[in-house]
Amino acid sequence: MERLRALRRTTWAGSGLQRAQSFLILATLLYRASHLTVGVLAVAQHRQGHPVQYLGLAAALGLSLLLYGTALARGWFDRRFVWADVLVTGCLLPFALYVWGGVRETPALGWAMLLGGSASAVVSVALPRIQALTALVALVVTHLIGYHLVGASRAVLGGHVNSLLSSAVMTWVFWWYLRRQGRLLDEANARALAAETQKARYAERLQHHRALHDTVLATLTTLAAGGIDANAPEVRERCAKEAAYLRRLIQQTADEVPHPEMGAALEEAVSSAESLRLRVTAQYHELPPVPPEVAAAFADAAREALNNVRRHAGTGHAYLTATGVPDDPAAPGRPGGAVVTVVDRGPGFDPDHPVSGLGLRRSVRERMAEVGGHATVDTAPGEGVRVELRWPA
């Protein structure tokens, strides 16, 4: 079971593709940071430099923050900002330095041309093929025209164009390899998780078999032997409890077997209430693995809610439903939680004047709050009571 929880945590940490994307964002960010460092040093050496040079450096810094900041926040590059970086930083900046910044020498223009290399790296992985080729052509043409204007040698021009294209090709190769490895990792994790889940389900079935052997089968064997009176009140009560247990097992499909820890804890709370002659209709659906203290809090709070039904509702019948909550799409990698509801069809009460002795505050709300959960009570006179337990809050 520990291995199954570890595999689930690995899945929650992100798929192989998400990890590949995060790595590539970081790698290209460091590549851009190295080029910006060269720009800062180059502009700083010319203390009497033209203000346009400082403005150009500021624009490159701003666009870099926008491009990589949104990529880190969203998990991948926004194509709009990629194109803005290509057009402004990679294409317009060198010409602006030449026309308005007084740049007439190759070294003074080199730092701006370097930014085209880190722009090409992002282009090769963030844009569709046709768009990527178009952007690369625009960057190459900028290099050819820009270095021709400042009279750069063919060696300098060839070296920078080679660096620009090599950056694009190598980044694309890295991206292809990382995606492939990510898919292989996801497939391996899926196989391992399926195997561990199958083992957990088999262990769960063995638990149920033992429970059936000790309860339902023992009762039927005793009745078949004729050793007890089948109409005796205690025998009928035991048969009713075991019938309710069988009903819950039948309702659980292969994909709805409750997680052993939480499912067993809730089942114990239900059995405890049934032993006090409260009829409980319980249903479970895709319960997630939760920490032991959370499972205990759910069970204790549910037990107190069932006790309140037995003591105050006057119906002798309660309904318990437990279900998993899907992952939150607004928080990738964060696992979902669970919700347990206990409902009765009794007379209810005025929530502004609760009945004394209900134990809702200490035994229900405080227990859930201690583990980061939340409990709510929905009731009105004549409307019954609905207690909802939710984790996380």
Q: How far apart are CA 146 and CA 118, in angstroms?
A: 17
The DSSP secondary structure of 271-314, one letter per residue, reads HHHHHTT-EEEEEEE-PPP--HHHHHHHHHHHHHHHHHIIIII-
Specify the pLDDT at position 83: 95
Q: Is the distance from CB of 326 to CB of 336 less than 8 angstroms?
A: yes
Q: Quote the crossing angle between the two packed helices 16-45 and 106-126, to the nearest 10°.
A: 170
Residues 248, 250, 251, 257, CA torsion sign: positive
**What is the reported pLDDT for 13?**
44
The tally of CA atoms less than 13 A away on the side-chain side of residue 344 is 27
Q: Which of the 8 DSSP states describes residue 245?
A: H
Q: 371 and 294 in contact (C-beta within 8 Å)?
A: yes
End-to-end alpha carbon distance in the chain: 25
- Cα–Cα distance between 265 and 189 in angstroms, integer? 28
Residue 359, pLDDT score = 56
Residue written as tokens 């625009």? 138
Q: What is the pLDDT of residue 129?
A: 92
SS3 of the chain: helix, strand, coil, percent, to 5: 70, 10, 25
Q: What is the mean pLDDT of each run of 10 residues along the chain (393 residues)?
A: 46 66 92 92 72 89 94 91 93 90 83 90 93 94 90 88 92 91 81 73 68 66 70 75 71 49 85 80 87 87 86 85 75 67 88 61 80 89 89 83
Pairing of strands 317-324, 279-285: parallel
Give me the sign of the Cα torsion angle 73, 11, 259, 251. Answer: positive
Q: Where are the domains of the chain?
A: 2-185, 252-391
As assigned by CATH, the class of the 252-391 domain is: alpha beta
Q: Both tokens of residue 380?
A: 């009105």
Looking at the chain, how many residues does it have?
393
Burial class of residue 191 in the structure, from the number of CB atoms within 10 Å of its CB (0-12 exposed, 13-18 middle, 19+ buried) = exposed
Give yes or no for a contact between 309 and 347, defined as CB atoms under 8 angstroms apart.
no
Cβ partners under 8 Å of residue 164, min gap 6: 116, 117, 120, 136, 139, 140, 143
- Residue 150: name the closest of 91, 92, 99, 116 by CA: 99
In this prediction, residue 336 carries a pLDDT of 64
Rounded-to-10 torsion of CA 260, 263, 264, 266: 160
Residue 350: per-residue pLDDT: 77
The CB density around residue 51, as the number of other CB atoms within 10 Å, is 9
Angle, nearest 10°, between helix axes 16-45 and 154-214?
150
C-alpha separations of 244 from 2, 240, 282, 370 in Å: 31, 6, 9, 32
Cα 9 to the center of its chain, rounded Å: 10
Q: CA torsion sign, 151 to 156 to 161 to 163? A: negative
pLDDT at 298: 92
Instruction: Return d(Cα 234, Cα 238) in angstroms, integer.
Output: 6
